[in-house]
Amino acid sequence: MKSLRTPLIVLGCVLTVALAVSLVSANMLSRRLGRLQMDYGFADSRMRAISLEMDTLAGMNRFYSLRSDSIFMMTLRLDSLEAYLQMLELRNDYTGYYLLIDTYQNRFHLRRNLEDGTEMVVRSGYCGTGKGWTGNDDGQVWDFSTPRGLRYVIEKGENPYWYRPDWYWEEMNMTPPEPDDYVVIPDTIPWAAQIAYYNDSLTASERIYVQRVPGALGSYKLDLGGGILIHYGVGRGSNVSHGCIRMSSSDLEALYRTLPVGAPVIIY
């Protein structure tokens, strides 16, 4: 019996120590789990709070965006209504040819008021008008809307040049060239030869650096002031221009030959 007592005592001590270690480890693990639960619980609640704040901010952003868009659209509608009222007044007070530009349907209507008070539609068709707000990759933005209201033909011209402004290059994320970098087409050659030189003698990369472009606006222009022209262009029937009014070649020539300088143009 004595020979077994010592191993049993040793075994009991080992088991006791092992149990104590297990209890301490279990207690430490329990505390750790409690801390983790509190930490994750706090993080979860914090995340829920942040999520609610983000949802609130997103809702406010949508609200103010819709409000801004509504104000912008209301301004356009008011401008169009004012232009429409000007058209009604024009019918009563003006005799002669005048032009209507519908920026919503992108149509034009050439009309004539006769001295006896009757009115007739001379020509109608599709046109292209401004495309509105546009931006580039650098965060620059431009408003290329066609301005609404009553304007007048202040100047007419044949064989106009298009002078590329700085925003032409900036819109394509390019740096506007220095004056010495421009490719110049000689104006000592005839108009048709200048157009052929631009299209046939220059590469695509060279044409980008031509500031004074022949033929881009067609054979005629009607200047409405403020940089707004009536000229030839593609995309008729859509909002595609940088503010000008684009016409087909035949419609442009008809307007050029019909509307005198000083003729009213109502844009709505």
CATH number, domain with residue 157: 2.40.440.10
Mean pLDDT for 35-49 is 57
Token pair 């001590």 in the structure block, residue: 13
Give the Å distances, CA to CA, from 26 to 22, 37, 171: 6, 16, 68
Give the Å distances, CA to CA, from 73 to 41, 78, 106, 147: 47, 9, 17, 13
- Nearest Cα neighbor of 214 from 148, 155, 163 is 163
**12 and 89 both lie in a single domain:** no
Domain assignment of residue 175, given as a range? 70-267
- Nearest Cα neighbor of 96 from 85, 84, 111 is 111
**120 and 207 both lie in a single domain:** yes
Q: In this model, does residue 39 exceed pLDDT 60?
A: no
Chain centre to alpha carbon of residue 255: 29
Tell which of 42, 69, 96 closes a domain. Answer: 69
Residue 77 pLDDT grade (very low, low, confident, very high; cuts 50, 70, 90):
low
Q: What are phi and psi of 244, to 5 degrees?
A: -75, 175
How large a percentage of the chain has pLDDT more than 70? Answer: 70
Dump pLDDT digits (tens) for 164-194.
999 999 999 999 999 999 999 999 999 999 9
Residue 62 pLDDT grade (very low, low, confident, very high; cuts 50, 70, 90):
low
Q: What is the DSSP letter of 128?
A: B
* Residue 89: predicted pLDDT: 77
Contact between residue 80 and residue 268 where contact means Cβ atoms under 8 Å apart? yes
Token pair 């001295």 in the structure block, residue: 115
Contact between residue 97 and residue 69 where contact means Cβ atoms under 8 Å apart? no
